[in-house]
Amino acid sequence: MTRRDRRDDAGFSMVEIMVSLSVMSVVLVVFTSAILQAYKTSAKAESISIIQAQLQNAFQRVDRELRYASWISPPGQFGTAWYVEYAGYDGSTCGQLRLETAPASTANDSTDEAHGVMQWLTWPKASPPAAGTPGQTIASNLVTPDSAGPFERQAAGVATGSSGTDFTPDFQRLRIRVSAQRGDSTASVDTTFTALNTSRDTPPTNDCSKGRPS
């Protein structure tokens, strides 16, 4: 009788198993890294979307106020906050935008989010608010672009570099530049509002300026 050929059922060697495990480990690492990167990208996109929506809602409210303003103050800083005031369309009411760069409740927070808060405050012209009167928060997690601050008033009848040297506005305008930061996500806004009830003859001073601390 002839000897029956031995079937190839000896299994795998230790070297083959180790090579297979190494290949699978590399595949799993690559796959996991791709999943994590996709998750981070999606989370960042969602975070930026939330920030942009917040700024858009805030600036829509600002636009409704400043569109009909009859006077805008020169911006200024007091303490850790930036201020700009404006007079309502009929001159009887006043408003103020205030960007507090270091709110007391979060100034010592160790998180990596920005803590700037923009508030909006209104009052009758004859009754300016007391110092420290809180306003309505319309945006948070803000940072200022540079030491010049977030507000820039563009006077009527004066050409401005940011608008082009050949353009001279007939109305007072307010430029606002801020960035909202959430973790490592940032959204910046640079927009200009035109006060349609102002002109080249608008007086430079107004009692609405009394709403700012001094």
pTM for the whole structure? 0.73
Percent of the chain predicted with pLDDT > 90: 36
Q: Where are the domains of the chain?
A: 43-211
186 closest CA partner among 150, 146, 151, 145: 145
* 198-203 contacts at long range (C-beta below 8 A, 24 or more positions apart): 198/69, 198/70, 198/71, 198/72, 198/156, 198/171, 198/172, 199/156, 199/170, 199/171, 200/156, 200/157, 200/170, 202/70, 202/71, 202/156, 202/172, 203/71
- Decide which of 196 and 139 is more confident: 196
**Tell me: the pLDDT tens digits for 108-148?**
444 445 578 999 999 999 999 988 888 998 888 888 878 88
In whole angstroms, give the CA distance from residue 106 to residue 92: 35
pLDDT given at position 168: 81
Q: Identify residue 97 by its one-letter amino acid code.
A: L
- Looking at per-residue pLDDT, the higher value among 18 and 160 belongs to 18
